[in-house]
Chain A
Amino acid sequence: MELLKKLAEANAPSGSEENVRKIISEEAGKYADDITVDTLGNLIVRKKGPGKRIMLTAHMDEPGVIATVIDDKGFVYFSPLGSVKPGALHGSKMVFLDGSIGIAASKAEKYEKTSDLYIDPLKKNTVSLGDSAVFATCFEVCGSIISGKAISSRAGCYILLQTLKSIQSSNNDLYFVFTVQHLLGSRGAGIAASRINPGYAISIGAAPCDDVPGGAKLPLKIGEGPSVKIMDNTIICHPVIKRRIIEAAKAENIKIQYEISEKEGSDSGAIHLRGAGAVSGAISIPIRYYNTAFEIADLYDVNGAAAILKKIIAEGI
């Protein structure tokens, strides 16, 4: 839990993932046969084996904003990095990568455009054009419920690390890839797939879930198990991967849900059409208040996904 907290509290907007990459490198170091960082900053951790080349991914980047205009009074105007909704920003405490704090606010009645908002830095004249900021939220645990920023990305990193640590020796050639720029269209996952050229790929991501009063009628609920991705905006998942996830969940006696995300893209989507193609699929953690300062998830789903992935890796695809 300390590791998940540490990961979730690290600040890493799309394009500036080094804080998370550093934590993961340190954690993965003694379990890896080889660690590389590629041109865009993907962290590629290899566990060698004689068999199939399997790529496992989780993204490191979280929703953020980037300073575009700083006015003469020191107020910072910004654009979103990835799909951060203006409504999720108003009233949030934000932290820039140098650690300086600001409050995102707006005088508009409705926050429809990012340009309706500004950041009021507590200390003026420390922010430069192009500096990026993320939500400044502490990680909280209450029973099996976890809450904080960036859980939709760091839960996946955590699951990959747990899986890596569980492997004694691998029959397959495993690449654990911690990707960059997922929120800008899974750009990191795509180039990593070009480098690795995997036969199989499983991505650990997150699925928005709206199991709240007045929520849309999405079937996902937190605490009802991790979800096997059926399809999203960028992929229709390969039946082999779906079947293996469902079988592994059954064997481990873990409840499972089915995810169809019409609007979201995924690393699995970016991977499956690269080069000559890969058999690709994904497991997603249901997340309430997705891409906000206060995402909520259930540890049952997180630990369940880790158990499923361990099982698949131990038995092979």
Chain B
Amino acid sequence: MLRELIDLCGLAGISGFEYGISKHIQEIFGLHCEDTETDPAGNVIGIIGKGREKKILIEAHLDEIGLMVKSIDQNGFVSFVCVGGVNASVLPSAEVYIHGKERIYGVIGARPPHLQSEEESKNKYKIEDMYIDTGFSKDELEGLIQIGDPVSFACEPAALLGDKLSSKSIDNRAGVLCLINCMKRLKTKNTDCEIVFLAAVQEEVGLRGAKIGAYNINPDWAIIIDVTHAITPYTKDGDIAFELGSGAAVAVGPGMHPFITGKIMESAKNIPYSLEVTPGNSGTDAWAIQTTKSGIGCALVSIPLKYMHSQVETVCMSDINAVSDIICYAVEGGIC
């Protein structure tokens, strides 16, 4: 499973430019589902138990945050805009790939401390003041990259001690891995409903893919898988965060339907889980799916993740198992 997550995280698919990864994910879905589809937005859909009376959607977004080429200056330095909620503080020293005509490696530098005034050293970097350095001049970049090209982080996923992985885009490839875990297990079960797996695009830019996907699928119920914050030295009292390795976080609040959320908690058996209180917008696809068409009852199950929206997002593999298991138990137990 670690190998599968490393492979998923190694793929580049920033919001709006998911075609590379979506093809790969559709192939994996095809190994385990009766049928797979894509839709005009690029969402990837896998179906098990087609034609059963009721329908349940299990969803995770497949896109990742990234950057986009804004302009190229006279010396070949590439300025960029953010796609999704990029943390400007983690960009200096980042390694990136610009996905132009070819994939071009580049680095985001920083002003050396020797040259910084005391005041400068206290200021945070701003996106508009940072550049990607590819080594090439403007002329050499001509025809290779252009304005609008997507930029992804280039770091290699790395296993940490104690069953943990650190990488870019674990938000939400870990969720996609849960989808795959669930389909592997549920394909042999005779459940009471058709199960539709949706790997949705463009979550990071406003929950867009899920809205279209849920509209077309129009399920009776939906379970959304995403990541939530894990406790680190950077979390503060009052932050809603969970220990890495503590299992699944099951959301409660007005965005969640008590029936399906209750089913998940009831059928959890010995799977560890915590309650995540979401007073309003959970910031996940659940918020968009809930008000699709004439309303879809949603549950949200999340994987604790350290350092969200950085190149060193860190997850514990046992939490991915807990999320996959808790969902499978609920579906196997009968939801519809």
Please report A residues at the B interface, Cβ cutoff 8 Å: 13-16, 38-40, 42, 65-69, 77, 79-82, 115, 129-130, 181, 184, 187-188, 190-192, 194-195
Contacts and interface: CB of A to CB of B under 8 A. Distances in A.
**Considering residues B254, B280, B296, which has the most beta carbons from chain A within 10 angstroms of its beta carbon?**
B254
B294 A66 contact: no
Given A15-B255, A66-B277, A66-B279, 9 more contacts: A40-B295, A66-B253, A67-B277, A68-B277, A79-B277, A181-B254, A191-B291, A191-B292, A195-B294
B261 to A, nearest CB: 9
B330 interface: no
Contacts of A115: 238
A194 B253 contact: no
B240 A68 contact: yes
A187 B253 contact: no
B252 interface: yes
B279 A81 contact: yes
A14 B295 contact: no
B293 A68 contact: no
A190 B292 CA distance: 9
A184 B275 CA distance: 21
Contacts of B277: 66-68, 79, 129-130
Given A15-B253, A68-B240, A80 B293 contact: no
Nearest to B296: A39
A94 B225 CA distance: 34
Contact of B291 (A15, A81, A130, A190): A190
Contact of A184 (B240, B254, B295, B297): B254
Interface string B294-316: 11110000000000000000000
A65 B253 CA distance: 10
A65 B294 CA distance: 26
A162 to B, nearest CB: 27
A38 B279 contact: no
Interface string B92-124: 000000000000000000000000000000000
Contact of B295 (A15, A66, A80, A191): A191
A7 to B, nearest CB: 20
**Considering residues B255, B257, B277, B281, which has the most beta carbons from chain A within 10 angstroms of its beta carbon?**
B277
Given A187-B290, A191-B295, A68 B254 contact: no
Nearest to A130: B252
Contacts, number: 68
A129 B275 contact: yes
**Considering residues B238, B291, B296, B297, which has the most beta carbons from chain A within 10 angstroms of its beta carbon?**
B291
Interface of B: 238, 240, 252-255, 257, 275, 277, 279-281, 290-297
A192 B294 contact: yes
A186 B322 CA distance: 34
Contacts of B293: 191, 194-195
A191 B215 CA distance: 12
A81 B255 CA distance: 11
A30 B280 CA distance: 35
B260 to A, nearest CB: 10
A67 to B, nearest CB: 7
B76 to A, nearest CB: 45
Contacts of A181: 254
Nearest to A39: B295
Nearest to A79: B279
A69 B254 contact: no
Contact of A77 (B238, B254, B295): B238
User: What 9 A-B pairs come out closest when comparing CB atoms?
Assistant: A15-B254, A130-B252, A191-B295, A79-B279, A195-B294, A39-B295, A68-B277, A40-B295, A194-B294
22 contacts: A13-B254, A15-B253, A15-B254, A15-B255, A38-B295, A39-B295, A39-B296, A40-B295, A40-B297, A42-B295, A66-B253, A68-B240, A69-B238, A77-B238, A80-B279, A81-B279, A129-B252, A181-B254, A187-B291, A191-B293, A192-B294, A195-B293
B275 to A, nearest CB: 5
Contacts of A16: 254
Nearest to B280: A184
Contacts of A188: 295
B290 to A, nearest CB: 7
A14 B278 CA distance: 12
Given A40-B290, A130-B275, A187-B291, A81 B296 contact: no
Nearest to A68: B277
Given A81-B254, A130-B252, A130-B253, A68 B294 contact: no
Contacts of B296: 39
Nearest to A270: B291
B297 to A, nearest CB: 5
A149 B275 CA distance: 29
Contacts of B297: 39-40
A48 B275 CA distance: 44
Nearest to A38: B295
Given A15-B253, A129-B252, A68 B295 contact: no
Contacts of B275: 129-130
A40 B281 CA distance: 15
Contacts of A66: 253-254, 277, 279
A39 B293 CA distance: 11
Contacts of A194: 293-295
